[in-house]
Copies of this chain bind each other. A is one copy, B any other.
């Protein structure tokens, strides 16, 4: 375990790639509603000393974002910029604090797939983990592939135009 950990730290220092959430993987949800977080993602979590996970619904896609406390604090800084009694800050807190969920991994590196995740992402039996550099996301497998192909198509037209 710690051998892997320190190895990843070394690799991260050398290659500068292993220290962020990258690529995607699909795992099955067992009868108790648990799913294994991909080992590369767990390695990143360990490297960043993240033991408490903060989950939030994505604002545009039917996916749930998962990250460390810094993910929450990033949103909170944005809220703090507004007037604390304004309706805007109120609504934003409703999303970030009321919609956010705190989670932990079990000893094997699994997380519970709650109805909160199931309903919002449309997940039933399988779940796709998608790296997003500083956090990762939970997707319904097919929805992820569709969104990715759609993004690729849109990106092609976008890249064709001179930036």
Give me the interface of A with B, judged by CB distance under 8 Å.
Answer: 15-18, 20-24, 40, 51-52, 54, 57-61, 68-69, 72, 76, 78, 85, 87, 90-95, 97-102, 130-133, 137, 144, 147-148, 151-152, 154-156, 159, 163
Contact = CB atoms under 8 A, between A and B. Distances in A.
A85 B59 contact: yes
Contact of A155 (B51, B85, B91, B131): B91
A61 B94 contact: yes
Given A40-B102, A78-B163, A99-B24, A94 B148 contact: yes
Tallying the copies of this chain within the complex gives: 2
Contacts of A101: 22-23
B23 A94 contact: no
